[in-house]
Chain A
Amino acid sequence: MSVTLTRVEPSIAGVGDYIELMKPRVMSLVVFTALVGLLIAPGHVHPMAAFTALLCIAVGAGAAGALNMWYDADIDARMTRTAARPIPAGQVAPGEALAFGLMLAVGSVVVLGLLINIIAAALLAVTIAFYVVVYTMWLKRRTPQNIVIGGAAGALPPVIGWVAATGSIAVEPVLLFAIIFFWTPPHFWALSLYRTEDYVRAGIPMLPVVAGARETRRQILLYTLLLAPLGVAPWLLGYAGLSYGVVALATGAIMIALALRVRVEEDRAHTASKQLFGFSILYLFLLFAMLLVDHASGGLLSHCAA
């Protein structure tokens, strides 16, 4: 029997490479939506408890990002948008990324469970598992519905924030979940419309690759037509005030207009889908920011009235 010893090169990964593994831009959106879920929840949360909950949610999101990069390193290397990520760039070894992601995942869930509450920790564990196992390992390379179903993982952070504050689930965080869930397909399909070549090269069955640009544009419009009324729903159901309702109506109308342009203007489809992609980020940010503003001003008004 012969034993082959392979020499392991010492790591050259810096702290910045590990931060990049955590997908900081995705993490910032996760933290923001979780913050809104946490702050609009009824009752008072101690600032230190809120900070701890957000830190755990951020680290959990980072863990999911690192595990995603570990599993997807082969396809990341083939796509222009992702080729410079730490693993395909040779800065971080796949094993290091796996160990880092697993450690952060376990750490964030355990700390959230110990210091905040167990339901929030369980939800964070489900979110990480859903993103890594269901989306990354199972759906991403198999079906054009990958981002539709996988979008549930990105929609859960406001629910975790709410549960961290209250210890239970209510209608409001479920509504926030639904908004992000239906926002995800038009957002990512708009991106995939002008990055189709990348996805073809990597062999990922995104909707434009599998069903063509025309069908993708139709589905973008359909999902946007579902999304815009959902965006207004918190105001219609009495969970948010008029200022939120006005912003949700106006920005929802712009989303529909942009989705219509993507559907109609075949000649300038790239420009239209880039505009929709860009505005969809602003749309989600504005909706959640207005929920915060509305909540803060409502609290201020009731404080003044008292």
Chain B
Amino acid sequence: MTTMDGMVSVAMDEPKPEPGIKLTEQQQRARRARSIAIAVSLGVLVVLFYVMTLVKGPGVLVRPL
């Protein structure tokens, strides 16, 4: 609805359109799968560093060229 001075007013009970891009079902599924893969990769990296630190012991800090 437009007022006399040209402003657009929205009734209080009208749902406001959400700003930004709305993902489709397929895009949401793909994003979820990618997020899980990234989380798993980061988890593997953490475990890798933890186990390799145990394997190398104090030698973990020795890096001869």
* A residues at B contact (CB < 8 Å): 7, 10-15, 18, 46, 48-49, 52, 55, 111, 113, 115, 117-119, 167
Q: Flag if B26 contacts A111 (CB, 8 Å).
A: no
CB within 8 Å: A-B pair count: 47
Given A14-B30, A14-B33, A15-B37: A111 and B48 interface contact (C-beta under 8 Å):
yes
Chain B 13-36, CB within 8 Å of chain A: the 1/0 string?
Answer: 000000001011011001101101
CA distance A117 to B21 in the complex (A): 46
Main secondary structure of the interface of B (DSSP, over half): helix
**A113 CA / B60 CA spacing, docked (Å):** 11
Contacts known (A111-B45, A117-B63, A118-B65); A11 close to B27, Cβ less than 8 A? yes
What residues of chain A lie closer than 8 Å to B37, measured between beta carbons? 15, 18
Docked pose: A11 CA to B37 CA in angstroms: 15
Q: Nearest Cβ in chain B — how far from A281, in angstroms?
A: 30
Question: A10-B27, A13-B34, A15-B34 known; A48 and B52 CB under 8 Å?
Answer: yes
Question: B30, B45, B49, B63: which contacts A11 (Cβ < 8 A)?
Answer: B30
A46–B55 touching, CB < 8 Å: yes
Which applies to chain A's interface (DSSP): helix, strand, loop or mixed? helix
How far in angstroms is the closest Cβ of chain B from A57? 14
- Please tell me if the beta carbons of B21 and A10 are within 8 angstroms of each other in the complex: yes
Residue pair B52, A52 in contact (C-beta under 8 Å): yes
Q: How far is the CA of A13 from the CA of B34 in the complex (A)?
A: 8
Find chain A residues with CB under 8 A from B24 CB: 10
B residues 36-65 in Cβ contact with A at 8 Å: 36-37, 45, 48-49, 51-52, 55-56, 63-65
Q: Is the CB of B31 within 8 A of A49?
A: no
Q: In the complex, are the beta carbons of A13 and B30 less than 8 A apart?
A: yes
In the assembled complex, which residues on chain B have CB atoms less than 8 Å from the CB atom of A13?
30, 34
Q: List 21 A-B contacts (CB under 8 A).
A: A7-B21, A10-B24, A11-B34, A12-B26, A13-B30, A14-B30, A14-B34, A15-B33, A15-B34, A15-B36, A46-B55, A48-B51, A48-B52, A49-B52, A52-B48, A55-B48, A111-B48, A113-B63, A115-B56, A118-B63, A119-B65
Which of A12, A55, A117 has the most chain B CB within a 10 Å cutoff? Answer: A12
Q: Is the CB of B31 within 8 A of A115?
A: no
Question: A174 to B37, alpha carbons, bound, how many Å?
Answer: 37
Closest to B27 in A: A10
A12 contacts which chain B residues (CB < 8 A)?
Answer: 26-27, 30
